[in-house]
Amino acid sequence: MNSPDANSPHPTIAFIGGGNMARSLIGGLLQSGAAPDHVRVAEPVAELRDALVRDFGVQAFPDAIAAATGADVWVLAVKPQVMRDVCAVLAPIAQTQKPLVVSIAAGITSAQIDRWLGSGIAVVRCMPNTPALLGAGVTGLYANDEVDAGQRDIAQALLSSAGKTVWINDEALMDAVTAVSGSGPAYVFLLAEAMQAAGEAEGLSTEAARALTIETLLGASRMLAADDTPAAELRRRVTSPNGTTQAAIESFEGDGFRDVVARAVHAARVRGAELAAAND
């Protein structure tokens, strides 16, 4: 970035879009020590603007140019369908300011954003997931060739405020990131739905089945995160020979559970690539 404050510990950040994910990142930034007067938000809906000012004390503007002018970092947090139009509006000042652009839009490539902003722009493409709203997310990040080491650190700090981060060296793999983690929470919610319904079918009350399902998923996730023990080993440890768990696992495997998951993740990856092509 050409701005003199770009490599400072607290660059000025403009969020283009003030929806839920932007709110999550803003909240995380402020909790990590960023000053509210270093954060700007462009949000056309007056009620959302007022809420951002009230809840976070940040500067809020009705249009993108007002928020982005003079900002070191732009966080593009708009829907993929409108990204091209937003970039067209911002392109003239992008060429003047040369900001670091961080995009959290699904299915939009860094090359598309760079081209729409006039080329020569440092772009970090990110794919956070919805647990980021609780500070418990995980984000895949890819940096184009214009991004320097200092800018990578800025993007890392920004997204780390919402959870863990994983850098991807090949942008073509970002669709796989979307398929595994971006869409992944919905897979877990579907599993939770199915487990609760199965528990109720076996006679448990709705309240008991829900509590047992949620706490089981939470506890199992904590075991996975506790150390580097592979999931396969943890599964083996709780699967006693000829026991109840083995009966369930054999039923899963017999019904092609792994193939079902693989096909689902593949379908999500393919759809991500289709979205990028449709928005080009």
Give strand pairing partners of 60.
41
Answer yes or no: is pLDDT of 146 > 80.
yes
**Same domain, residue pair 159 and 220:** no
| Percent of the chain topping pLDDT 70 | 97
The torsion region of residue 135 among left (phi > 0), alpha (psi -120 to 50) and beta comes to left
Q: Is residue 6 part of a domain?
A: no
3 domain-assigned: no
The pLDDT tens digits for 16-32 are: 999 999 999 999 899 88
- Residues 159, 55, single domain; the answer is yes
Question: Does 2 map to a domain?
Answer: no
Residue 250's domain comprises 182-276
Residues 154 and 168: their CA atoms lie apart, in Å, by: 16
SS3 76: strand
Q: Which amino acid, residue 231?
A: A
Number of domains in the chain: 2
CATH of the domain at 220: 1.10.3730.10
Q: Is residue 203 domain-shared with residue 224, that is, in the same domain?
A: yes
Query: pTM of the entire structure?
Result: 0.88
Q: Residue 77: is its pLDDT beyond 90?
A: yes
Query: Quick one: pLDDT at residue 9?
Result: 55
Residue 5 has pLDDT above 60, yes or no: no
Q: What is the mean pLDDT of residues 136-160?
A: 96
At which of 121, 149, 174 does a domain end? Answer: 174
Is the same domain home to 98 and 157?
A: yes
Beta strands in the chain (DSSP E): 13-16, 39-42, 59-61, 73-76, 100-103, 122-127, 137-143, 163-167
Instruction: Specify whether 164 is located in the same domain as 227.
Output: no
